[in-house]
Amino acid sequence: MTVVEQRQPTKAREVTNNIPFVRTKLSPEALTAATRVLESGWLTTGPEVQLFEAEFAAWVGADYAVATSSCTAAIELGLRALRLPRGSRVLVSTITFCGAVHAIIHAGYQPVLVDVDPVTVMPSVRTVRDAVDRPGHIDAMLVVHLAGAPANVDELADAAGLDRDRIVEDAAHALGTRCGTKRVGSGESTTCFSFYATKNLPIGEGGMVTTNNADVAERIRRMRLHGMSTDAWRRYLPGGSWRYTVETSGLKANMTDVQASIGRAQLRHLADWQRRRREIAARYDRSLAGVPGIALPQRPRDGGHAWHLYAVRVLPLCPDDHSGIRRDRIADELARRGIGTSVHFIPLHTMPFFMRSTLPPDPSFVGAEAAYAQLLSLPMHPNLTDEEVDVVSETLGALLVQN
Ligand SMILES: *Cc1c(COP(=O)(O)O)cnc(C)c1O
């Protein structure tokens, strides 16, 4: 009885934090811009989308940008624009967001899952070679820059035996990432970005494809709106013609002017928000440096991290324990203390739908299984205060000593 009485106040004191995993940052200008468009009389794809595309292309350093309804749609369109035969095989990491693999399937291709390096949590030259050595020709690859860390696209393309124009980059985490000195999205491959509510440039929903290839840009532009030769804005413009034709299959995957106006306003803050993310990462690095039992995210050897996520690895007490029990316990204890965390991502080869729809059959992905048991994404967003970072670090440090 006394034990219970002594414990209750401690428990009550524990849940004093309110540090959710993410708090979306919407600039005041975004609210004004959205209202302006809502009052303008034009709600779907129009002049705001064109301006957002131009401003986004300039920010990233790409020749062309095409706005879409989501990054998932952007990936599907980027893959369709390769115009490969049905059933062509596309390499993709087993540790990525499920939407990326759905996009490969909806584009008409066959996803081939690739294991990851347990430290970078991304496919390496070795795991890509292992995938290519299995029976069956590989036709394309989707490369993810996980957490915002730069993947070495050239090395991976070489390992897969693919030309750069057969690579589509999943840059949902990588707005602001640099490979060497070049921003992700300014290179040779079709690159797909996300404006989902939790991403580095939040709109709520939305996506963008960047490319330096005029033909690819034009194909994606048509396919995003039913394959129609002209969009509604151009048809209804004064003096515009109602005529259009359809020469290719397409999706309904256009962005609205309301979304674009929010995106344009948000883009003006992106450099500041990215600076804040780098400060937060540096503060976590410093305050967690001496803590035993975790591994901190690696700094890129060559390039710049966009810090979409700050993912630590909670090391098991016994090296071959891949149960994830210790990580789960720490995540639960943090949640009880009002600190939100997440895991990016659950390996896709463990999920029923992807077991049926992807290759190889019965994969043995030791890197992914080791990494998955350890991954823990800490709160990381530009609204996070220094004090909150310190509370997360101190609480995590104390839990690691006790668990
Ligand atoms: C969020 C995310 C996507 C999908 O983005 P949407 O805009 O929500 O479609 C794709 N890949 C990765 C790695 C993501 O995190």
Q: What are phi and psi of 335, to 5 degrees?
A: -60, -40
From 71, 224, 309, give the residue whose CB has the most ligand 1 atoms within 8 Å, as the site to mutate: 71
Atom of ligand 1 nearest to the CA of 195: 7
pLDDT 10s digits, 361-374: 999 999 999 999 99
The separation between CA 123 and the C-alpha centre of its own chain, rounded to angstroms, equals: 15
pLDDT at 3: 40
C-alpha 111/C-alpha 379 separation (Å) is 31
Element (H, E) at 304: strand 303-304
**Ligand 1, pocket-test mutation among 170, 175, 380, most atoms within 8 A of CB:** 170
- For residue 221, pLDDT over 90 is answered with yes
Which pLDDT value is given to residue 340?
Answer: 98
In whole angstroms, what is the distance from residue 152 CA to residue 159 CA?
11
pLDDT for the residue 1: 35
Chain segment 371-400, per-residue pLDDT in tens: 999 999 999 999 999 999 999 999 999 999
User: If you measure from the C-alpha of residue 62 to the centroid of ligand 1, how many angstroms do you get, rounded to a whole number?
Assistant: 20
Residue 169 Cβ < 6 Å to ligand 1: no
Q: Distance (Å, rounded) from C-alpha 290 to C-alpha 53? A: 44
At residue 14, the pLDDT reads: 55
Distance 198 CA to ligand 1 centre (A): 10
Contact (CB, 8 A) for 280 and 380: yes
How do residues 113-126 score in pLDDT, each as one tens digit? 999 999 999 999 99
pLDDT at 6 over 60: no
Question: Is a pLDDT exceeding 70 seen at residue 21?
Answer: yes
What's the mean pLDDT in 206-220?
A: 97
Task: Report the candidate in 213, 243, 215 with the shortest Cα–Cα distance to residue 228.
Answer: 243
Centroid of chain to Cα 374: 19
The confidence score (pLDDT) of residue 7 equals 45
Pick the atom of ligand 1 nearest to 194's CA: 7
Mean pLDDT of 183-190: 94
Q: Is the CB of 211 under 6 A from ligand 1?
A: no
pLDDT score of 157 more than 50: yes
307: burial class by Cβ within 10 Å (0-12, 13-18, 19+)? buried
Instruction: For residue 128, give the amino acid letter.
Output: V
